[in-house]
Amino acid sequence: MSIDVEVLEDSRHHRYVLNMGPQHPSTHGVLRVLLELEGEYAMELLPVLGYGHRCHEKIAEFKPAKSFMPNTARMDYLGALIYNQGFAQLLEKAAGIEVPERVEYIRVITSELNRIQSHLLWYGAYLLDLGAFTPIMYAFDDREHILDILEDVTGSRLTYCYARVGGVSKDIDDKFVTRTRAFIDRLRSRFPMYEDLVNGNIILQKRLIDVGELTPQICARYGITGPLLRGTGVAYDIRRAEPYSIYSKFDFEIPTETKGDCMASFLVRFRELEQSLRIIEQALDGLPEGPIMAAKVPKKLKLPAGDYNSSVEAPRGELSYYLVSDGSDVPYRLKVRTPSYSNLSVVPEMCRGMLLSDVVSAMGALDLVIPEIDR
Amino acid sequence: MDINKVKGQWQKLSTAIEDVDYSASGYDYSVSLERDKVRDFAALMLAEGFYLVGLMAVHVTPAIEVVYQFAHVETRCRVMARAFVDEQVEMPTISDIYQGANWHERETRDFHGVVFVGHPYLEPLILPEEDVDLKPLLKEEAKLKDVAAVRRQPPEPAPEPKAKPEPKPEAKPEAVKSQEQS
């Protein structure tokens, strides 16, 4: 550990070390942070990772690439469908498989629903960290509708395994479309309520404004992406920068703020809910008929030798799969670059000299999902 | 960012630059580096506004290869920079240039045993401290492949076995050309 407790005791009597986590409620999972405090101020922070490490990258080297799909959902359990989509795209790219148009629409609709439920959970849980109990009840109420809708088509509520190489496992029906449209209207009608109840609240503003400020330069040095980067004024979204799937067909905005503090990323995420709804709406309007599986997907999917990359915009930032293939159906090496990993690594620099209660604000704004950090 | 200008600067540092088909491979350029140029390359990328997506190692013969991935926030430009470690499995750190590399390098030390020289705190990150020598992502002898086996193969004219012997001589000068240009 970089914090040498004995040295501290000898030289600086007024400093002490506090262990936050791995069971601390505001770390949302098994993350441990060693804090060196000077009174109420955090002087050094050392995140300790690996409590939930399963070595997915090693598992990937032992079975056919297709069979790795369920593992992708176990990394970011809140963005499982987006992780599915990214991995399916990787294999389709490597094997040169054309995906039917309907499949792309279904993937976009379900991925955006997934993004909304991830943001809603963050919204409720973040405010809970800050001491507001009520909003999580409202957010979970809305989120529950999405889980019900997705459960019908995917069969699960959290760790989805819906995408297949070349398609999806089950077609969506009229009931799905009707329910999704009803949900869009419902969530839209709730936005003014959220804004009245939460966003304008003076206590929330005092906790978030000017806390945990980031700049585009810090983001570049640490590889921070997603809403945190957009909160610093950089309109970078993989869906727009490297349009995968059919995102280039849709009209949506990339919400940005300029200040880079916790309030900025808070507002960016909140506005992204509306943009995801817009994408879903357009996708439902344009949903074509057709097959939900590519015509020729070999049972043994051999990937030509070489390396392949597939990047998608996950709820927390850039997710990249990098696959090195030796020509067989089993990956030679698979690297999963998860957004929270890079986003969390800024904590020692960002939180230095902060009040302990602000550390909770700043770390909540990162929207951490620990299993994707540990993998 | 002017990509031609940046490529000119890469040329001074790299041994080879390959233009990669984005639609087939998902990235734009593959840059091969010597070990001692990695830090210069990283400093150049930071100055040009690239961010570090991540870095990882691949266990191949003759040596472990470290792959750095960069991307740009303004224009689509995704770059894979590669370099082989030396006999002591060492690689210079870039964690003072890109602080985000700090954890990626510690993870690579955990999984492959690559020692990043100059790293401020190269302790186990993901694995427990007692597993410092486990190196779980190293390949067994039987599964270890040569680096040529995991490289993109030139497109074979296999579907047309009766084709004229022209494609081959054509393909070769092209490959040489692209290297010269880059």
> What region does B138 belong to: left with phi over 0, alpha with psi -120 to 50, or beta?
beta
User: Could you give the 3-state DSSP secondary structure of residue B69?
Assistant: strand
Average pLDDT score over residue span A30-45? 84
What number of helices (H) and strands (E) belong to chain A? 16, 9
Q: Answer with the residue of higher pLDDT: B86 or B165.
A: B86
Q: Cα dist. A316→A119, A309, B29 in Å? A: 9, 19, 26
Q: Given pLDDT bands bounded at 50, 70 and 90, which one contains residue A13?
A: low
Asked if omega into B62 is within 30° of 0 (cis), the reply is yes
Q: d(Cα A346, Cα A140) in Å, to the nearest integer? A: 29
Separation of CA B96 from chain center: 19
Which positions in chain A touch B100 (Cβ < 8 Å)?
221-224, 342, 345-346
Longest dimension (CA), chain A: 73
Q: d(Cα A315, Cα A236) in Å, to the nearest integer? A: 13
Range in A14-18, A213-217, B174-178 with the lowest mean pLDDT: B174-178
Range in A24-38, A265-279, B29-43, B66-80 with the lowest mean pLDDT: A24-38
Looking at residue A106, its pLDDT comes to 92
Residues B78, A341: C-beta atoms closer than 8 Å: no
Looking at residue A3, its pLDDT comes to 44
Q: Chain A contact for B99, CB < 8 A?
A: yes
Average pLDDT score over residue span A157-162? 88
Q: Given pLDDT bands bounded at 50, 70 and 90, which one contains residue A104?
A: very high
Q: d(Cα B57, Cα B110) in Å, to the nearest integer? A: 11
Looking at residue B157, its pLDDT comes to 63
Q: Given pLDDT bands bounded at 50, 70 and 90, which one contains residue A230?
A: very high
Average pLDDT score over residue span A270-282? 92
Looking at residue B140, its pLDDT comes to 85
- Supply the Cα-derived Rg of chain A in whole angstroms: 21
Average pLDDT score over residue span A80-92? 92
Percentage above 70 pLDDT, chain A? 96
Q: d(Cα B61, Cα B112) in Å, to the nearest integer? A: 13
Closest-CA distance of chain A to residue B149, Å: 6
ipTM: 0.86
Residues A306, B25: C-beta atoms closer than 8 Å: yes
CATH code of domain B3-181: 3.30.460.80
pTM of structure: 0.86
- Checking if the pLDDT of B152 tops 90, the result is no
- In degrees, to the nearest 5, what angle opens at C-alpha A250 toward C-alphas A150 and B78? 95
Burial class (CB in 10 A: 0-12, 13-18, 19+), B141: exposed
Residue of B nearest to A235 (CA): B73
pLDDT tens for residues A135-144? 899 999 999 9
- Domain positions in chain A: 5-48, 56-370
Closest to B100 (Cβ–Cβ): which among A2, A236, A345?
A345
Looking at residue A198, its pLDDT comes to 87
Closest to A322 (Cβ–Cβ): which among B50, B56, B71?
B56
Q: Which of A248, A307, A346, A352 to mutate to test the interface with B (most CBs of B within 10 A)?
A: A307
Residues A337, B76: C-beta atoms closer than 8 Å: no
Residues B126, A93: C-beta atoms closer than 8 Å: no
- Checking if the pLDDT of A297 tops 90, the result is no
Q: d(Cα A241, Cα A326) in Å, to the nearest integer? A: 30
Percentage above 90 pLDDT, chain A? 40
**Pairs of residues, one from chain A and one from chain B, whose beta carbons lie less than 8 Å apart:** 134
- What is the amino acid identity at position A126? Y
Residues B78, A311: C-beta atoms closer than 8 Å: yes
CATH code of domain A56-370: 1.10.645.10
Average pLDDT score over residue span B155-177? 53
The rounded mean pLDDT for chain B is 82
- Checking if the pLDDT of A181 tops 50, the result is yes
Q: Cα dist. A108→A114, A248, B12, B137, B145 in Å? A: 10, 11, 42, 34, 38
User: B25 is written with which tokens?
Assistant: 């491979």
- Checking if the pLDDT of B165 tops 60, the result is no
pLDDT tens for residues A302-328? 888 889 999 999 999 999 999 999 888
DSSP string, A317-360: EEEEEEEEE-SSSS-SEEEEE-HHHHHHTTHHHHTTTEEHHHHH
3-state secondary structure string, A4-50?
Answer: CHHHHHHHCCCEEEEEECCCCHHHCCCCEEEEEEECCEEEEEEEECC
Q: Chain B contact for A238, CB < 8 A?
A: no
Looking at residue A357, its pLDDT comes to 87
Closest-CA distance of chain A to residue B46, Å: 7
- Could you report how far apart the first and last alpha carbons of chain A are, in Å? 22
Residues B56, A224: C-beta atoms closer than 8 Å: no
The rounded mean pLDDT for chain A is 87
Looking at residue A273, its pLDDT comes to 92
Tokens 């020509």 belong to residue: A327
Q: d(Cα A127, Cα B102) in Å, to the nearest integer? A: 31
Tokens 């987006």 belong to residue: A82
- A81-84: long-range contacts, CB 8 A cutoff, minimum separation 24: A81/A107, A81/A110, A81/A111, A81/A113, A81/A114, A81/A150, A81/A154, A81/A160, A81/A162, A81/A163, A82/A111, A82/A114, A82/A115, A82/A312, A82/A313, A82/A314, A82/A315, A82/A319, A83/A314, A83/A319, A84/A160, A84/A161, A84/A162, A84/A163
- Checking if the pLDDT of B32 tops 60, the result is yes
Looking at residue A319, its pLDDT comes to 92
Q: Chain A contact for B52, CB < 8 A?
A: yes
Range in A10-14, A38-42, A208-212 with the lowest mean pLDDT: A10-14
Closest-CA distance of chain B to residue A115, Å: 21
Average pLDDT score over residue span A345-372? 87
Closest to A345 (Cβ–Cβ): which among B27, B51, B102?
B102
Tally Cβ neighbours within 10 Å of residue A6. Answer: 7
Tally Cβ neighbours within 10 Å of residue B89. Answer: 15
